[in-house]
Amino acid sequence: MNTRLHTTLALAILGVTSVAQGGLVGTFDVATSNGYNESMSLTGVALPDGTYLWSGQITQNDFTTSGTFIGSPDAPGIASVVQVVNGSDDAMAFTIDFTMPLTNPVAENLAWESSVYASLTGLDVSLSALIADSIWHVDVAGEDTAALMPYPFELVVDGHGANTAYDEGSGVVSWADGEDLSIRLSFELSPGATVMFNGGFTTIPAPAGLAIVSGMLWMRRKRRH
Amino acid sequence: MTKPRYDYTCLSSGILAMTLVTGAAVSAGAPEVMFSIAASGDGSGPVSGMLSDLGAWAELDDGSTAFTGNIFGESWHVSWTTVVHQTNELLTLDSALSITNTSNQSQMFELDTLFNPDPIFADGLFEVAANISVMNLDFTGTAELSTVDDAALIRAGLGEDAVVDLYEPFYALIATGPYAIALDNQSDQMTVSGDVESSWHGSTFELSSGDLATLHTYTVISAIPSPGAIALLAIAGWINRRRAFQL
């Protein structure tokens, strides 16, 4: 068997990167019901707009995972794309976690918005939430803030083809001393299925924070011009 | 918003490069799957090559082969998961792509995935399904994923003859609000005949600055048994049933 663990950091391929500035280190954790458990550090690449991008892949003989995360550590928000293939002969449970450090932790009540989209393909396949759990979680400073696609969520493809599902939520988080923001995907995937999640979370700055963010955006724009 | 100037010469050379790669040596055991990406704002030209060389791959326990990886361009980032599976009865190509436009201008992108399978049956049903999404990575404004000129956003085919277009022009998918997502899905099918030489997915689109798009395209060709084969199966079934009654 050709068992290989391959982690591809964003900077590693082709050497065509010109935007890399070096940057924040995020943590990418993947665990499966088949006993796989791996935690790896991903170095973020600074993008021109001030956000960071992290990307990592895992390839095994029974599954593959690819994660891309784009976040703004100074104005907490994160976008993610996670792709998973169950190449085994049985249903598998996955827990995929990415933690982004915050450079400027805040301490206030913040409104948040979150949404997640799932695209499932294969032959007679299904994606389902684990019992008493949700598929999409956002933890702010260790507190489970957003939970979308809750149990008994299920997405099915009958015959060959594709299917999609979408969920969104909003609320207020009391942000205390937290120094990181993490997203977590927990789900069961039937054999032969491929799923791609696209999810986002953002906090909506309070009036004072909004003024600071607006000022930063104005300065960035001015610098560009 | 400043509109980019599209460099079609650059894109054409990408397709040419992909064709030239066809005869190149591949990693031992990996199926021949080629990938190419070109962006209008990228002066370094298109990137193309075998997926087995561009990232990681593995033969999965269910008999399929999966490829994963990511590439940073000058003004974009792409990550992929591509799965190919071939048996005597069916051939599937499943590609999940995420593309981020990291520049401060909208850009046109062209991506192609091409699988050269072992020779396969002559007649079958060709099914195509594609889910797409776009995400606004900003606190304000919108994110837009749209067609370019007269090209469909998603194209899938078998060789040069059987081609399915999805999200035909003019098409635009728009997400409004901070970190908002817009999504859509389309599918189609057709019957095909003749030997299958290649199975491919192509996409051409424009993506707004600083935003993220996902494209998930699934194609399958499944054999339609010929009348002779159906007759043989029927006879075999009849003989089996007769034997069962005799026992």
- Helix (H), strand (E), coil (C) string for A125-155: EEEECCCCCEEEEEEECCEEEEEEEECCCEE
* Residue at B3 is within a domain: no
CB nearest A162 (choices: B102, B214, B216): B216
Q: Are A122 and B218 an interchain contact pair (Cβ–Cβ within 8 Å)? A: yes
User: Which of the 8 DSSP states describes residue A177?
Assistant: S
User: Which of the 8 DSSP states describes residue B151?
Assistant: B
**What percentage of chain B reaches a pLDDT higher than 70?**
79
* Residue at B1 is within a domain: no
Q: Are B70 and A68 an interchain contact pair (Cβ–Cβ within 8 Å)? A: yes
Distances in Å between the alpha carbon of A141 and those of A77, A102, A145, B122, B144? Answer: 13, 10, 9, 58, 32
- Local confidence pLDDT in tens for the 247 residues of chain B: 333 333 333 333 333 333 333 333 344 589 999 999 999 998 777 999 999 999 999 999 999 999 999 999 999 999 999 999 998 888 999 999 999 999 999 999 999 999 998 877 667 899 999 999 999 998 788 999 999 999 999 999 998 878 999 999 999 999 998 889 999 999 999 998 887 889 999 999 999 999 999 999 999 998 765 555 556 556 666 776 666 555 4
* Residue at B132 is within a domain: yes
User: Residue B86 forms beta bridges with which residues?
Assistant: B91
Pairwise CA distance, residues B211 & B146, whole Å: 13
User: Which of the 8 DSSP states describes residue B209?
Assistant: T
pLDDT at A24: 87
Distance from CA of A10 to the nearest CA of B (A): 7
Mutate to test the interface with A, among B81, B95, B100 (most CBs of A within 10 A): B81
Pairwise CA distance, residues B97 & B131, whole Å: 11
Asked if the C-beta of A94 comes within 8 angstroms of chain B's C-beta atoms, the answer is no
Cis peptide before B170, with omega less than 30 degrees from 0? yes
- Report chain B residues whose CB lies below 8 A from the CB of A88: 60-62
B residues 181-220 closer than 8 Å to A (CB): 181, 183, 185, 187, 210, 212, 214, 216, 218, 220
Asked if the C-beta of B77 comes within 8 angstroms of chain A's C-beta atoms, the answer is yes
| Residue of chain B with shortest Cα separation from A70 | B137
- Report chain B residues whose CB lies below 8 A from the CB of A61: 58-61
What domain count does chain B have?
A: 1
Distance from CA of A176 to the nearest CA of B (A): 23
Asked if the C-beta of A10 comes within 8 angstroms of chain B's C-beta atoms, the answer is yes
Q: Are A57 and B70 an interchain contact pair (Cβ–Cβ within 8 Å)? A: yes
Distance from CA of B218 to the nearest CA of A (A): 7
Q: Are B129 and A162 an interchain contact pair (Cβ–Cβ within 8 Å)? A: yes
Asked if the C-beta of B64 comes within 8 angstroms of chain A's C-beta atoms, the answer is yes
* Residue at B2 is within a domain: no
Chain position carrying tokens 């805040």: A106
Q: Helix (H, G, I), strand (E, B), or coil: what is residue B22?
A: coil
User: Residue B173 forms beta bridges with which residues?
Assistant: B145
Task: Return the number of CB contacts < 8 Å for A and B.
Answer: 221
**Are B66 and B60 spatial neighbours (Cβ–Cβ below 8 Å)?**
yes
Range of the domain at B90: 8-246
Q: Are A85 and B83 an interchain contact pair (Cβ–Cβ within 8 Å)? A: yes
φ, ψ for residue A214, nearest 5 deg: -60, -40
pLDDT digits (tens, 9 = 90+) for B203-229: 999 999 999 999 999 999 987 655 555
